[in-house]
Structure 1
Amino acid sequence: MILEIRTYRLKPGTGEEFVRVMREESVPLLENAGIRVVDCGASLVAEDGHEEAYLIRAFASLEAHRDQEAAFYGSDAWRRGPREAIVSRIDSYHTIVLDVPDEAAEAFRGK
């Protein structure tokens, strides 16, 4: 399984609304697009006073990761939906992609 962990450094004062939009609007769209969301939320710590958040997603393969992301981020549902509410609150983000056993996603979900 391919596990993607994305971290977001957010603009000051936007963390709570970012996480709300992520959970209530973005995650349902991702899941409707066939992307498995393992978890998302606010970081427990903030670096340099910046609020931070995360998104963890699982994919069957690197090819599925590439194809599903391209389809999702190119979709009208994303572009006309929560895209602006999400992107406007991000200062920067970082993504790591790992090849892990299937049980790893469940371990994150069960936290």
Structure 2
Amino acid sequence: MILEIRTYRLKPGTSDEFVRVMREESVPLLEASGIRVVDYGASLVAEDGHEEAYLMRAFTSLEAHQEQEERYYGSDAWRLGPREAIVSRIDSYHTIVIETSEQIVQALQRR
């Protein structure tokens, strides 16, 4: 399994709306496109006073990761859907991709 962990540094005062758009629009769209969302939400701690959020997704391989991301981010559903509401609230983001087991992914999976 491949686990992607993405952290977002958000513009001030936008974390509640960012997480709402993720929950109501972005995550359902990711899942409908076949991307496994493990967990997401707001950080419990604001680093240097900046609001932050995270998204964890799982893929069967690096190739699947690349293919699914390209298909998702190139889709009209994303570009004409929640893209602007998400991107407009992000100052910066950082992504790490690691290899892990299905058991670890299941343990992290939002219930």
User: Which category of TM-score, normalised to the shorter sequence, fits these structures?
Assistant: over 0.9
In the other structure, the counterpart of 2:89 is 89
In the other structure, the counterpart of 1:6 is 6
Q: TM-score, normalised by structure 2?
A: 0.98
Extract structure 1 runs of 4+ deviating beyond 2 A.
none
Q: Check whether the contact 2:39–2:110 (CA below 8 A) recurs between aligned residues.
A: no
Count of residue correspondences: 111
Which runs of no fewer than 5 residues in structure 1 stay unpaired? none
- 3-state SS of the aligned residue for 1:53? strand
In the TM superposition, residue 107 of structure 1 has moved relative to its aligned partner by: 1.1
In the other structure, the counterpart of 1:40 is 40
In the other structure, the counterpart of 1:25 is 25
Identity across aligned pairs (percent)? Answer: 77
Which runs of no fewer than 5 residues in structure 2 stay unpaired? none
In the TM superposition, residue 106 of structure 1 has moved relative to its aligned partner by: 1.0
Q: TM-score, normalised by structure 1?
A: 0.98
In the other structure, the counterpart of 2:105 is 105
Measured on the aligned residues, the alpha-carbon RMSD in Å equals: 1.0
